[in-house]
Amino acid sequence: MVEVSASILSMKNENAIQTLYNLETSGIDYFHIDVMDGKFVEADTTSKMLEYCEYLNSISNLPLDVHLMVEDAKSYINSFLVFEPNIITIHLESAKNKQELLEWINYIKENNVRVGISIKPNTKIEEITEYLPLIHLVLVMTVEPGKGGQELLLPTIQKIKDLSDYIKQNNLEVDIEADGGIKPENVNMLKEAGTNIIVAGSSITNSSNFKETVAKLKG
């Protein structure tokens, strides 16, 4: 059974509070917090995500799955640590060098948070294999990071399969999270490829019955 992490990026602002409440009671396992700095990706969602996390911390016990699409990860890690997230994921492509990436990984772990590395669709899994023994999960982007509501890029499914095979062959304890364009119609491909956690945003928040959609995603 996969876990579902609901992205709140595409949520309409006008009824955000009601939407968050409906998500809370829909059977999701995490709230997926998409933090964008306007540099690593074009959009800047920082203040909106900080506001949503403030609110979620007051109404929800569900764990936060923070996805940092930012250049200066250290300062954003600090900004979101206050919400005691369950997961903080950084992008391999945002680190200047190996040393900086290792510093971020260690800093997140020292703060008792699960650490993930995210890779864009064109980044090869060979570029992260050396870090797998040090992290809790890999967030495989199944769309280009930067916005919700995109179509899943099919070549990323094979990448998840290859990563899953590598993790098994090397007896590693690393979860695979897939993120972008995921809906009930394509979720089985991700499950069969070895995904443990799926991120879904618009396929849930655009649906008329969140609980039903989440149940279909979990299958």
* Catalytic site positions: 34, 179
Instruction: Choose the binding region for ligand DX5 from 109-117, 142-150, 170-178, 211-219 (rule: CB under 6 A).
Output: 142-150
Neighbours of 33 (CB within 10 A): 27
Size of the site for ligand DX5 (CB under 6 A): 22
| Partner interacting with residue 3 (select from Zn ion, ligand DX5, none; CB below 5-8 Å by kind) | none
| Partner interacting with residue 137 (select from Zn ion, ligand DX5, none; CB below 5-8 Å by kind) | none
Q: What is the number of alpha carbons within 13 Å of residue 13 lying toward its C-beta?
A: 4
What amino acid occupies position 106?
N
Q: How far is the CB of 12 from ligand DX5 (least distance, A)?
A: 13
Distance, CA of 113 to CA of 198 (rounded, Å): 19
Q: Of 65, 56, 64, give the one whose Cα is nearest residue 21.
A: 56
Distance, CA of 163 to CA of 124 (rounded, Å): 10
| C-beta of 125 vs 178, nearer to ligand DX5 | 178
Q: Which one of 3, 29, 34, 177 is in contact with ligand DX5 (CB under 6 A)?
A: 34
> Counting contacts by CB under 6 A, is residue 63 touching ligand DX5?
no
> Counting contacts by CB under 6 A, is residue 121 touching ligand DX5?
no
Residue 80 CA to chain centroid, in angstroms? Answer: 14
| C-beta of 177 vs 194, nearer to ligand DX5 | 177
Distance, CA of 49 to CA of 2 (rounded, Å): 25
Q: Which one of 32, 48, 91, 136 is in contact with ligand DX5 (CB under 6 A)?
A: 32
Q: Which one of 73, 101, 199, 214 is in contact with ligand DX5 (CB under 6 A)?
A: 199
Residue 196 CA to chain centroid, in angstroms? Answer: 12
| Partner interacting with residue 89 (select from ligand DX5, Zn ion, none; CB below 5-8 Å by kind) | none
| C-beta of 49 vs 174, nearer to ligand DX5 | 49
Neighbours of 51 (CB within 10 A): 11
Hunting for tokens 């919400």 — which residue is that? 83
